[in-house]
Structure 1
Amino acid sequence: MGLDMYVFVVEPQDAIDDFTVRENDRNDPKLGKELHYWRKHHDLHGWIEQMYRRKGGRERSFNGTLVRITLEDLDQLERDIKARFLPPTTGFFFGNSPPNDESDKDDFEFISKARKTIQEGKAIYYMPSW
């Protein structure tokens, strides 16, 4: 067990709001292809949870919860990574690995892919699982 972190591409007609994606016939969210995956990047997870709360997210446990990421969110994330402003985040399943040049590189690659995907008219949603 551990913190698995996913970002999925969602077709624009299936993106309902910041927290909701249209469901398929099995009552599962209509998530498209996986855009990015992290394992136990706890500080990034904490940053995204803070974003979720700012957008009005109310689920007590930020686990298995969707939140839409916008271009503005990506701009702020990029600034915060460069400034090392990701919040220190702990949890039983999260592990302990502080940000470093390698994780920064992966995060910047994600930001680049995510921007391109959004500029192509798609939506992207983050979903943690632990």
Structure 2
Amino acid sequence: MGLDMYAHSMPKDDNRPPVDFEVEGLHLDHTPRIHYWRKHPNLHGWMAGRYYEKGGTDDDFNVNTVELTPEDIDELERTILENRLPDTSGFFFGATTGEERDDDLEFIRKCREEFAKGRTIAYYAWW
């Protein structure tokens, strides 16, 4: 048990809400997983902030989705580079150690590749 975090590339859909949308066929070619983290609570806390800013209402932010835009990714990169991910804790979340930085920046690079293809990014976590 613990915090498992996923990012998937999806076809862009302007009619899809920015939060709490269904991600059909998560493991099919049209929504490939581009990144996975295990127990990185501070990043999850940042994602939760985006979820609530975009209208999300689930207090747990567990198995909820949030769409990440190029602007979100730019802000995430600044946050990571300035070591400002919010301290976040939770049941079975583990601890962010700081060793995740290079992996987080690799995620950002992958997101930008997907945006260049006209796709968007869905984040969700299960704990």
TM-score higher than 0.5: yes
SS in 1 for 2:94: coil
For residues 14 and 127 of structure 1, what CA distance do their matches in structure 2 show?
19
Which residue does the alignment assign to 1:119?
116
Task: Report the RMSD for the aligned CA atoms in angstroms.
Answer: 1.6
CA deviation profile, 1:23-44 (whole Å, cap 9, x unmatched): 5xxxxx3131101000001100
- 1:88-113 deviations in whole A, cap 9, x for unaligned? 0001110123223xx11000000000
Aligned-pair CA distance for 1:9: 1.3
| Other-structure match for 1:78 | 77
Q: Which residue of 1 aligns with 2:67?
A: 68
Matched, 1:93 2:100: no
TM-score by length of 2: 0.89
Shift of 1:20: 4.7
Structure 1, unaligned runs of 5 or more: 24-28
| Residue 61 (structure 1) shift | 1.4
Question: Is 2:2–2:94's contact at 8 Å kept on the other side of the alignment?
Answer: yes
Q: Is the partner of 2:83 in helix, strand or coil?
A: coil
Name which of 96, 101, 105 aligns with 1:104: 101
- Per-residue CA deviations over 1:40-93 (Å, capped at 9, x if unaligned) read 011000011011111111112100000000100000000010111000000111
Q: Between the two proteins, what is the percent identity of the paired residues?
A: 43
For the pair 1:2 / 2:2, whether they are aligned, the reply is yes
Query: Does the 8 A contact of 2:67 with 2:120 survive in 1?
Result: yes
Q: Report the AA paired with residue 64 of structure 2.
A: T
Q: TM-score, normalised by structure 1?
A: 0.87
| SS at structure 2 position matched to 1:92 | coil
Instruction: State the AA in 1 paired with 2:51.
Output: Y
State how many pairs are aligned: 122
How far apart in 2 are the matches of 1:15 and 1:8?
18
Gaps of 5+ in 2: none
Question: Which consecutive segments of 4 or more residues in structure 1 shift more than 3 A?
Answer: none
